[in-house]
Structure 1
Amino acid sequence: MRKIDRYMLSQLLVLFGFFSLVLVAVFWINQAVVLFDRLIGDGQSALVFLEFTALGLPKLVTTILPISAFAAAVYVTNRMNNESELTVMQATGSGPYRLARPVLVFGMIVFLMASMLHHILLPLALQQLNERETEISQNATSRLLTEGTFLHPSQAVTFYAREITEDGVLRDVFLSDRRKPEEGVIYNAAEAYLLRNQNITTLIMLDGMAQRLSTETNRLSTAKFRDFSFDISALVRNDASQVQRAQNITTWRLMTPWDPLAKEARQRIGDIAEEFHTRFAEPLFCVVAAMIGFTTLLVGGYSRFGVWREVVVAFGLLLMIDGLGSTFQNPVRGDARLWPLLYLPTVIGALLSVGMLWYVARPRRRRRRAQPTREAPA
C-alpha cells in the first residue's frame, strides 16, 4: 500500500474512532438514564447498573458503526477536497477508482469489527443479559422491597409496605390478590418477612387479617390470623424470560436446522432466518455506508460554497437504503425463503457507489455533452 493510501486510511480510522466515541457517549447517556431509573427504582445496586450497561454496549456499538463509518468518510473527503489534496492526487494520475481504494479498505476493516460484534460478542452479551434479567425478575426482594410505594409485581396484584427495617422486616403490609375473577382477597399484616428457598418465595405475615370477597354471592368474609404464609413465587416468575430467543443464539448454532431452533425459541422460522442473515447483511452495510459518503462528495467536486448539498444527498441516500433494509425484515419473518431481500440494500448501495465512480471517471464525456455544438463554416 502506498504512503498516500496509508495516510488516507489513518485519517479515516482516527475520525472513525472519534465519531464512534461521541455517538456511543450520546446514545449511552440516553439509555443509561432510563436504565438507571428502572434498576435503582427496583432496589438494585450501582454495580448491577454498571453490569447491565456493559452488557448493552455491544448492541449500541453495532447500531452506530455504519453512521460512524459514513461520517468519517464524509469528513475526510471534504477536508482533503478543501485542502486540494484530492486535486493534487488526481493531477498526478490517480483516478476515482484509485482514490476509492483506501476507503474500501477502511470499509472492510469496519466490516470485520461489525462481524465480530454480530457473530460473537453481541449474542453472548444478550444471553448474559437475559440471564441476569431473569434472576432479577425472579428475585422477590428486588420486586417488593420498596417502602412507601404501591407496587404491581404482577397483573391484578398490588403490594404495599409502609416501612422496611434494616433487618428486613416489613411493617404495615398490604397485599391485594385479584387474579381469580370469582373472588378477590386483601391481606393486611402488622409485620411480614420474605423467605426464599431455591425457586420458592414465601411471604410470612404476622398479626393480620384476610378479607375475601366473593363476586358470585357478593359476600365478604374476614379472618384474623397470627401468622400466615403466602406463596408469591407465581407473582415474580417470568417464564417467557427463560426462553432462549434467536438473538441470544450464537451464529454457529444458527447454522443448524432451523425447525428445532424455532420450537425452542418459540419463534417462527422466518424470525430465525431474519436474525441469521441480518448478522451478515448489517456488517456489509458498513462498507456501503463508507463508500456512499466518499463517492457522493467526489461527484460534487470542489466548490467555494461548500459541500453541504452533497452531504445532504449522501445522508439521504444512506437513510433511504437503510430504510429499505428495515422494510424487508417483515416479509422475511413471514416467509424465510425471502432472505435474499435482506442483502438487497447492500447491493443497491454498492451499485450506486460504482455508478458514481464510473461517472466521475469520465469527465471529458461530460464536458463534450455540456458544450454546445458548433456550426460548420460555410
Structure 2
Amino acid sequence: MSGGTIHLPGGQEVSRFDRYMLSQLMMLFGFFALVLVSVYWVNRAVILFDRLIADGQPISTFVEFTILSLPAVIKLILPIASFAAATYVTNRLSSESELVVMQSTGFSPWRLARPVAIFGLVVGAMMAALSLLLVPLSQTELNQRERQIAETATARLLTEGTFMQPAKGVVFYIREIDGKGILKDVFLSDQSKPDTTVTYTADEAFLIKDEAGPKLIMIDGLAQVVTRNDNRLFTTNFADFTYDISSLLAATSSTKKSLERTPTLELLRAPKEIAATLGLPDGWVAAELHGRIVQIFMCGIAALVGFATLLMGGFSRFGVWQNIVYAFALLIVLEGVRSALVDPVRKDAELWPAMYLAPALGGLLVILILFSKTRSFSRRRVSTP
C-alpha cells in the first residue's frame, strides 16, 4: 500500500492507504449526511407544507422554501455525519484487521490518524462555506420571500363586506374599498390580551409598506378600550392611528434571526454598529461570529474524537461498540461545553476566547489518546524479538 502516492501542498504525500481510507470516509459521510438531512427535512417539510398550502401558496413556493432552508439543515448535521463516518469506518477497519495489518507494517497511531485529519479538513471546508457564507445568504433570501408572502396575505385582508379573523382574538371588517384603494368604514376588534379588549372604528383607512412589516393607517376614528378586571370603558377619538398588521401575520422576525442573517464580513467589520442597529449587547454579535468559526473546528474534532476513542480500545475482530458509546458521550460533552459558553459571551463580549474551549478540549483529548497509543505501540515494538 506504500506505492502510488500523490502530493499535497507543502510536499506531503497521500499514500494508497490514505486514499483508500479517505474514500471510505467520504462515501460513508455522504451516506450519513443524506440520511440525516432527509430525516430532519421531512419533519420540517410537513410543517412547512401545511403552513404554505393553507395560506394558498403554490407548490413552487414550497419547493423554493425547501431549497432555501437546506443550507441551515446541512450545517446542523455535518458534525454528526463526520463523527458517524469516522467511527463506522474505524470500527470496520478494526473488525476486519486492516488497521492491525497497517500497524504491523510500522504505521504509528499518528500516521493512521492522518487520513482522518485530512477528512476533517475537507468537512471543515464544507462547514466554512455553509456557516460563513451560504447560510446567512439563504436565510436573508428566505426572509425576503416570507415578507412577500406576508404582503400577499395582507392583500387577502382587503375583502369588502366580510368579517375576517386573521389571528386569534382579532376580527377585521371593511365595508367598501374605493377606486383609489382607500378603505371605508373599518372595524377592528383586538381581544388578543386576556384582560383588555380594544375596538377601533374609522371612517377611512389605507395600508402602507414598512421595513418592519405592513401597517394599517386609520383616519378619523374611535378607539374603545374595555378592561375586564373592573369592567371600565375608555374611549379616545383620533385623527390618525397606526396599527401593525404584521403582528397578525407572524411576518416579523426576531432580532436573533436578524443577527443570524447578517453576513460574516459585516460581523467582522462593524460589530458595534450591528449591535446598536439590532438593539443587542455587543456580546451577542461576538457570540454569533465566533460561533460560526467554532462550528468549522467542531467538524474535524468530531471525526478525530471518534477515530481516537475507537483506537484507544485496541483492535478486536468483534468490534469496538463500547468505545463508540464512549466516543458519542465525549462528543455530547464537548457540544455541551460549546453551548454552555454562549450565554457568558453574550453577556460579556471580552470573553469570546472561551468560545474555542470546546474544540481546544477535543483537540487536546485526541492528542493525549494518540500519544498514549504511540507509547504503548513503541513498547510493543521494542519487546518484539
TM bucket (normalised to shorter chain) is 0.7 to 0.9
Contact 2:187 2:200 in 1 (8 A): no
- Whether 1:5 aligns to 2:18 is yes
- Deviation track 1:59-84 (CA, whole Å, cap 9, x = no partner) reads 11111000000000011111111111
Which residue does 1:119 correspond to in 2? 132
Alignment of 1:192-341 (within 5 A): 215=226, 234-236=244-246, 240-241=252-253, 245-341=258-354
Which residue does 2:37 correspond to in 1? 24
Secondary structure class of the residue paired with 1:31 = helix
**One of 104, 127, 130 as aligned partner of 2:117:** 104
Query: 2:136 and 2:223 mapped to 1: Cα distance?
Result: 48
Query: 2:246 and 2:347 mapped to 1: Cα distance?
Result: 33
Contact 1:104 1:291 in 2 (8 A): yes
Which residue does 2:368 correspond to in 1? 355
Where structure 2 has 5 or more consecutive residues not aligned to the other structure, the ranges are 1-13, 175-185, 234-239, 381-385
Where structure 1 has 5 or more consecutive residues not aligned to the other structure, the ranges are 162-172, 188-193, 204-209, 220-229, 368-378
- Whether 1:184 aligns to 2:199 is yes
Contact 1:153 1:236 in 2 (8 A): no
Contact 1:134 1:241 in 2 (8 A): no
Amino acid at match of 1:256: R
Which residue does 2:102 correspond to in 1? 89
**One of 355, 361, 367 as aligned partner of 1:342:** 355
Q: Give the number of aligned pairs.
A: 336
Query: 2:26 and 2:198 mapped to 1: Cα distance?
Result: 66
**One of 74, 77, 100 as aligned partner of 2:87:** 74
Contact 1:143 1:153 in 2 (8 A): no
Compute the TM-score of the two structures, normalised by the length of structure 2. Answer: 0.76
Query: 1:247 and 1:214 mapped to 2: Cα distance?
Result: 38
- Deviation track 1:189-226 (CA, whole Å, cap 9, x = no partner) reads xxxxx9967667879xxxxxx9997749979xxxxxxx
Of 176-185 and 84-93, deviating more is 176-185
Query: 2:252 and 2:316 mapped to 1: Cα distance?
Result: 58
Contact 1:55 1:125 in 2 (8 A): yes
- Deviation track 1:331-364 (CA, whole Å, cap 9, x = no partner) reads 0000001111110000000011111111111226
- Deviation track 1:107-164 (CA, whole Å, cap 9, x = no partner) reads 0000111001111101111111122222223434477599xx9975457523599xxx
Query: 1:256 and 1:60 mapped to 2: Cα distance?
Result: 27
C-alpha displacement at 1:297, in angstroms? 0.8
Which residue does 1:137 correspond to in 2? 150
Cα root mean square deviation, aligned: 3.8
What is the percent sequence identity of the aligned residues? 44
Query: 2:20 and 2:44 mapped to 1: Cα distance?
Result: 36
Residue 130 and residue 213 in structure 1: after superposition, are their counterparts in 2 closer, same or farther (change >3 A)?
Answer: closer
- Deviation track 1:84-124 (CA, whole Å, cap 9, x = no partner) reads 11011000000100000000000000011100111110111
Secondary structure class of the residue paired with 2:37 = helix
Contact 2:215 2:245 in 1 (8 A): no
Query: 2:90 and 2:22 mapped to 1: Cα distance?
Result: 11
Amino acid at match of 2:22: L
- Deviation track 1:221-270 (CA, whole Å, cap 9, x = no partner) reads xxxxxxxxx99963236795496822111111111132211111222111
Secondary structure class of the residue paired with 1:361 = helix
